[in-house]
A and B are shown apart, each in its own frame.
Chain A
Amino acid sequence: MTPVIAATELRKHFPGQAGPGEGGTRRAIEAVRGISLTVAPGEIFGFLGPNGAGKTTTLRMLTTLLPIDGGTATVAGLDVRRQASQVRWHIGYVSQLGGADELATGRENLLLQGRLYGGSRAEVARRVGEMLPLFDLSGFADRRVRSYSGGQRRRLDVALGVVHQPEVLFLDEPSTGLDPQNRASLWQHIRGLRDRGTTVFLTTHYLDEADVLCDRIVIIDHGQVVAEGTPRELKQQVAGDAIVLELRDAAAAGLAATELAGQPGMRDLNTDGAIVRLYASDGPAALPGLLRRLDAAGLAARSLQLSEPSLDDVFLRQTGRSLRDAGDQGGPAADQGTAGATGVAA
Chain B
Amino acid sequence: MKAVTDIGLLFRRYLTQLLRNPVWLVVGFSTPVLYLALFTPLLKGLVGGPGLATGNVLDLFLPGILALLAFASGTGPGFSTIFELRSGVIERFRVTPASRLAILAGPILASMLLMFCFDLVVVAVGWGLGFGVHLAGLLVLAVLLALLMATMAAFSIATALATKDISGFAALINGLNLPVLLLGGVLLPISLGPLWLRVLAHFNPLYYTVGAARVLCAGTLSGSAVWQAFAVLVPLCAVTAFWATRVVRRAVA
Interface residues of A (CB under 8 A from B): 20, 63-67, 85, 88-89, 91-93, 95-104, 108, 112-113, 115-118, 160
Contacts and interface: CB of A to CB of B under 8 A. Distances in A.
- Sorted nearest first, the 10 A-B pairs with minimum C-beta distance are A97-B88, A99-B88, A99-B92, A93-B95, A116-B98, A88-B97, A116-B96, A103-B20, A99-B89, A95-B88
A20 B13 CA distance: 27
A108 B96 CA distance: 16
Given A65-B253, A97-B87, A103-B21, A160 B97 contact: no
B17 interface: yes
A63 B16 contact: no
Contacts of A112: 9, 13
B241 to A, nearest CB: 20
A6 B88 CA distance: 26
Nearest to B97: A88
Residue among A63, A92, A98, A112 with the highest chain B CB neighbour number at 10 A: A112
Contact of B13 (A88, A98, A99, A101): A101
Contacts of A160: 92
Contacts of B13: 101, 104, 112
Nearest to A88: B97
Contact of B94 (A65, A98, A103, A104): A65
Contacts of B96: 88, 113, 116-117
B91 A95 contact: yes
Contacts of B98: 116
18 contacts: A65-B91, A65-B94, A65-B95, A88-B95, A88-B96, A89-B97, A91-B95, A93-B95, A95-B92, A97-B87, A98-B92, A104-B17, A112-B13, A113-B92, A116-B96, A116-B97, A118-B5, A160-B92
Contacts of A115: 5, 9
Contacts of B252: 20, 65-66
B217 to A, nearest CB: 36
A129 to B, nearest CB: 19
Interface of A is mostly: loop
Contacts of A101: 13, 17, 89
Given A99-B87, A104-B13, A118 B97 contact: yes
Interface in B86-130: 86-98
Nearest to A98: B88
Residue among B17, B20, B88, B93 with the highest chain A CB neighbour number at 10 A: B88
Contacts of B95: 63-65, 88, 91-93
Given A89-B97, A102-B87, A108-B16, 20 more contacts: A65-B94, A67-B250, A88-B95, A93-B92, A95-B88, A95-B91, A95-B92, A97-B88, A98-B88, A99-B90, A100-B89, A103-B16, A104-B13, A112-B9, A112-B13, A116-B96, A116-B97, A118-B2, A118-B5, A118-B97
B59 interface: no
Contacts of B253: 20, 65
Interface string B160-204: 000000000000000000000000000000000000000000000
B87 to A, nearest CB: 6
Given A20-B252, A93-B95, A103 B17 contact: yes
Residue among B20, B88, B92, B250 with the highest chain A CB neighbour number at 10 A: B92
Residue among A88, A89, A91, A115 with the highest chain B CB neighbour number at 10 A: A115
Contacts of A91: 95
Nearest to B92: A99
B91 A99 contact: yes
A65 B252 CA distance: 7
Interface string B10-44: 00010011001100000000000000000000000
Contacts of B20: 103
A149 B16 CA distance: 23
B249 to A, nearest CB: 10
